[in-house]
Amino acid sequence: MSTAPDFDEAEVARLAPGLALALPRTPQRGRVGEVRAASAGSSLELHDFRVYQPGDDLRQMDWNAVARTGELILRVRQDEVSPRLEVLLDGSRSMALSPRKAACARELALLATEVGAHQGLSPTLLVGGARPERVQGQVCRSALRSATFDAKDDLHAALGRLPPLRPCGLRVVVSDFLFEAPLPALVSRLAQGAAALFLVQVLDAEDLEPTGGEGARLVDAESGAALEELLTEEVLAAYARRFAEHQKALGAAAARARAVHLVAPAPQALRTLVAGALRPLFLPAGVA
Amino acid sequence: MSFGFPWGLLALGALVPLVAAYFLRRKQKPVVVSALFLWRTPRPRAEAGPRFERFTREASLLLEALAVVAAALFLADVRLGEDARTRHLVLVVDGSLSLSARGADGRSVLEKVRAEAARRVEEEKATSVTVLASGTVPRVLAGPEAEPSRALAALESFRALGADHDVAPTLLWAQELAGPGRRVHFFTDAPPAEGVAVPAAVRWTALGAPRDNVALVSAWRRDEGSTATVTLRVARFGTGPEETEVRVRARPGPGAKEGTERRERVRLPEEGAATLRFTFENAGDVEVALPADALPEDGEARLPPAPERRVRVALAEGLDAQARSTLERFLAVSPGVEQGPGEGALVVGPRGSDARVTVGAGGAVRTFVGPFFAEKGHPLLDDVQLGGVRWAAGAEAPPGRALMTAGTVVLLSESEGQVHLNVDLARSNVQRTTAWPVLLGNLLREVRRSQEGFPRRQLSLGETLAVVTRPGSRYTLEGPEGTRPLFGAGALSLPPPAVPGRYTLERDGEPVDAVEVLPLDARESDLRGRGEGDRPAQAAGDDEDGGAAPGRARWPLLVLLAALLVDFHITRRTEAK
């Protein structure tokens, strides 16, 4: 829907150097880096001992153990890797409900890729629009500029079109998560192959507190389905109640998949979001 | 199904705004939302989705439409089955002038007729009424089968000013409208005369009373130059005053600064009329008035100027000297004639020319002293006496239809608007007899009659309205009862006007001529034979069978209320959800 690159790239550039993504503490796989990996490698951290087999690196032979036991014992050390970062941006029409919502989604996705790049996490960006896109590295910025929120279906359906999610250290999903889908199954699928999963829910002011007072023909942003309602206090209260139930279900699904559910109200400035609602994801650089 | 008041169906027009509101409501301001499912109320039949909503709204529309239809049916006084049986009453009111006569109590006969008609409608419980007015041309005042209130309202605005006439055609027409075996109510001011055949189904109600009356029985005005001569005949019917005062007022005409009023007392003979004559100079309309009496309408007349129509006559080249001098002598003394060529002039020419009138003899000339054979009914030969006439005519017969012959020779003929005189004036003495000016006078009279407009400027009630129109133009006749188009060209004879007053002939919207129809009819002014009476219908009708259902049907109201309640229930339930 929205094609204009109306997000504040300068603000993202100002914030990115001072931030670091909250990385998982469990061993991961990845390129050689600073994080301990689950695989055996050449770091100084001892991982295990085992009997020498032909072809093993003789430099890893524990000669003290050989002397004690008379067997060829080999030291197995942990590998040190750099975890991969995958940022998945929901490209459905509802993400462009308002220019601010679209901009906020773009800014968060860009900030995640920029901060990840600073950390050497080799970011990968997936945009689930009508034409799904998967880019890596420096082109993420330009991909976000040209990304359009034009998908007539929700994120759950878009996963079927997107390239398969790859195992990674950190996966950040930016969406409004306002769709009818089996949330536990969706979150479980998003968490698959990722050491850590952050669900960043971008919500517009109208999503959080819709204005009422008159009759309206409510049109679904994605499906185009319409519903005529008189937006009375009772109707708005019913919406708030159902919205709260939806959020509760999303939170429960995230907790079950050991994912972190963060709500980013679009009206708030990016700096405010980073310092507040998104603090669990964007840590100050020194802390990480 | 029938309707007592079909105009009530106009309420169905409310369906238009209702349906429009339905569609407008469906086109509310669109608001895009991220998650429609959060707005939708989950229901057991959620899979039906929007269809359920639509059904609810459409049901509401259908119920509201049903309510409108029910209301329209109630207003239209719908009747079904037995209720649909209506009682149709046909009333005939005498439209002659005498019904405007006042009784001793000051009430006119027509007022009594209105009251009696209303009573009769109420008494018969009529659901539809047709009112006819008798006259030289019967007409419908209300209906056919109008609502009673409308019929009585039409009767209230009716004025009886017609001429004396035969009511039988109106009564027969009324009988046809009423249907076989149904009664017709006729209201007049006199019981039926002996020997008058009254249809068996007619109930004849007379509400008049014998009165004395003084009336104008004729009024005539003639204008010659600037002098207007008004001739009046005043008659006394009954033992009224032996003397009366006639007031004649002449309004100022062109060139006059003020009008003239004259009053003259006149003695009225017991069984006869007194004649009065007044002359005025430069007079416009002349108004005549008698003192008010039982029938004041017949004591008033308005006489507009009635100048004689001028005729232009031109003598063509080729006429022999005898014929020319003879014609010029006649034209010099004939009133209202101008000599010389001009538009519309009557051209008199020699034999064989294309003039309107040809004079001359062809072939061997023979002289006849009689017997002459003439078509007496022809207007050209009115009062033409040929005794003592010596007529010399040529052996060659003029073309056309022979109007007068002597032996085998045609003396006068007519063909396609031309008149041919087969006469050799040098050898005849016809120009020295009375037949000559009478014949030429008739010719000029016919020319005058064929001029556009009304041949007569004043008519009495009941006289046929003659008018002449030109082909190729569109004419209308504007009178007291409105404007109506005239069809046909040439000399037309229209039915007698129903009411007195001024009638104007208009050609393509421009007035051409006017005629005044005076409210004068001696037979209507004679009120001595009027009286009261009620002659019941001779044939028993089936009016007594099957009266109409009292009041309006109630079931449309019940349907209306039920539809509104169910609609309220549905919309209330929808809002609650």
pLDDT digits (tens, 9 = 90+) for A199-247: 999 999 999 998 876 667 788 998 888 887 778 888 889 999 999 999 9
Shortest Cα distance, chain A CAs vs residue B562, angstroms: 26
Nearest Cβ partner for A179 among B26, B28, B35:
B35
Which of B28, B35, B37 faces A217 most closely, judged by CB atoms? B28
B42: closest chain A residue by CA: A242
Contacts of B321 (CB under 8 A, 6+ apart): none
Q: Residue B161 has what pLDDT?
A: 86
Q: A229: how many CB neighbours lie within 10 A of its CB?
A: 22
Instruction: Summarize pLDDT for A253-264 with one digit per residue, the tens.
Output: 999 998 999 999
d(CA B400, CA A138) in angstroms, rounded, equals 119
In angstroms, the separation between the Cα of residue A124 and the nearest Cα of chain B is 27
The residue of A203, A229, A245 whose CB has the most chain B CBs within 10 angstroms, and thus the best one to mutate to test that interface, is A229
Quick check: A80 pLDDT over 60?
no
For B20: left if phi > 0, alpha if psi spans -120 to 50, otherwise beta; the answer is alpha
Residue A25 pLDDT greater than 60, yes or no: no
Find chain A residues with C-beta within 8 A of B40's C-beta: 227
From the number of C-beta atoms within 10 Å of its C-beta (0-12, 13-18, 19+), residue B302 rates as buried
Strand partners, B533: B206
Chain A residues with CB inside 8 Å of B26's CB? 228
ipTM above 0.90 for this complex:
no
Identity of the residue in B27, B33, B575 whose CB atom sits nearest the CB atom of A221: B33
Kindly list the residues of chain A whose beta carbon comes within 8 Å of any beta carbon in chain B.
Answer: 94, 97, 176, 178-180, 204, 206-207, 210, 214-221, 223, 225-230, 235, 238-239, 242-243, 246
Residues B506-516, buried b or exposed e (16+ Cβ, 10 A)?
A: bbeeeebbbbb
Cβ distance B377 to B415 under 8 Å? no
Which residues are CB-neighbours of B392 under 8 A, at least 6 positions away?
B361, B365, B366, B367, B368, B423, B424, B426, B427, B428
Per-residue pLDDT band for A105 (boundaries 50, 70, 90) equals very high
* Higher per-residue pLDDT: A2 or B312: B312
Helices (H) and strands (E) in chain B, counts: 9, 33
Q: Please tell me the distance in Å from B177's CA to the nearest CA on chain A.
A: 59
Residue ranges of E strands in chain A: 19-21, 30-51, 73-83, 85-90, 123-128, 133-136, 168-175, 194-203, 215-220, 226-230, 260-265, 282-284
The per-residue pLDDT for B27 is 61
Tell me if residue B284 falls in helix, strand or coil: strand
A99 preceded by cis ω (within 30°)?
Answer: no
Can you state the angle between helices A139-146 and A99-118, rounded to 10 degrees?
Answer: 170
- Distance in angstroms (rounded) separating the CA atoms of residues B429 and A216: 109
Distance CA(B533)–CA(A38), nearest Å, equals 130
Closest chain B CA to residue A247: B38
| Residue B425: per-residue pLDDT | 85
Give B36's contacts in chain A (Cβ within 8 Å).
218-220, 223, 225, 227
Q: Cβ separation of B29 and A217 shorter than 8 Å?
A: yes
Please give the single-letter amino acid code of residue A49: F
Chain A residues with CB under 8 Å of B56 CB are: none
On chain A, the residues whose CB falls within 8 A of the CB of B51 are none
Q: Is the CB of A97 less than 8 angstroms away from the CB of B32? A: yes
Report the C-alpha gap between B233 and B301 in whole angstroms: 12
Q: What is the per-residue pLDDT for B577?
A: 45
Nearest CA-CA partner of B559 in B15, B66, B83: B66
Q: Which of B340, B275, B279, B271 is nearest to B312 (CA)?
A: B340
What whole-number distance in Å separates Cα of residue B17 and Cα of residue B95?
A: 47
Residue whose token pair is 């209230």: B156
**Inter-chain CB proximity A246 and B30 less than 8 Å:** no
Q: What is the pLDDT along chain B (577 residues), one digit of tens a residue?
A: 777 778 888 888 988 888 887 776 656 678 888 888 888 875 544 444 444 455 567 788 888 899 999 999 888 878 776 555 567 888 899 888 888 888 888 888 889 999 998 988 888 878 888 899 988 888 888 878 888 888 888 888 888 888 888 888 888 888 888 887 788 889 998 888 887 778 888 888 888 888 888 888 888 888 887 888 889 898 888 887 888 888 999 888 887 778 888 888 888 888 778 888 988 888 888 899 988 888 888 888 888 888 778 888 888 888 888 888 888 888 888 888 888 887 778 888 898 888 889 998 888 888 988 788 988 888 888 888 888 889 999 988 888 899 999 888 999 999 888 899 999 888 889 888 988 899 989 988 888 888 888 888 888 888 888 888 888 889 999 988 888 888 888 888 888 888 888 899 898 888 888 888 888 888 888 888 888 888 888 775 555 444 444 567 788 889 999 998 888 887 765 544 4
For residue B204, report the phi and psi dihedrals to the nearest 5 degrees. -100, 115
The residue with tokens 């017991």 is B270
The letter for the amino acid at B18 is L
Contact yes or no for A61/A12 (Cβ under 8 A): no
With beta carbons less than 8 A apart as the criterion, state whether B206 and B532 touch.
yes
Q: Which of A90, A93, A178, A236 to mutate to test the interface with B (most CBs of B within 10 A)?
A: A178
Contact by Cβ (8 Å): A97, A87? no
Nearest chain B residue to A227 by CA: give it. B50
Question: For residues B24 and B18, what is the distance between their CA atoms, to the nearest angstrom?
Answer: 10
Chain A CB contacts of B27 under 8 Å are: 217
Q: What's the confidence (pLDDT) of residue A286?
A: 67
Q: Cα A220–A226–A229 angle (5° rounding)?
A: 105
Share of chain A above pLDDT 70, in %: 86
Give the best residue of B32, B41, B51, B57 to mutate against chain A (max A CB count within 10 A). B32
Q: Do B39 and A176 touch (CB under 8 A)?
A: no
In chain B, which residues have their Cβ closer than 8 Å to the Cβ of A176?
34-35
Tell me the C-alpha distance between B175 and B155, whole Å.
Answer: 19
Q: How do A194-203 and A215-220 pair as beta strands?
A: unpaired
Which residue of A93, A177, A228 to mutate against B (max B Cβ within 10 Å)?
A228
DSSP symbol at A193? T
Nearest-by-CA chain B residue for A180? B37
Q: Which residues of B touch A97 (CB under 8 A)?
A: 32-34
Give yes or no for a contact between B469 and B492, defined as CB atoms under 8 angstroms apart. yes
pLDDT digits (tens, 9 = 90+) for B491-547: 888 888 888 888 998 988 888 888 888 888 888 888 888 888 888 887 755 554 444
Q: Do A220 and B27 touch (CB under 8 A)?
A: no
Q: Where are the beta strands (DSSP E) in B383-518?
A: 391-394, 401-406, 409-415, 418-421, 458-460, 465-469, 475-479, 482-486, 490-494, 501-507, 510-518
Residue B269 φ/ψ, nearest 5 degrees: -65, 160
- Residue A152 to residues A96, B32, B130, Cα–Cα distance (Å): 12, 13, 71
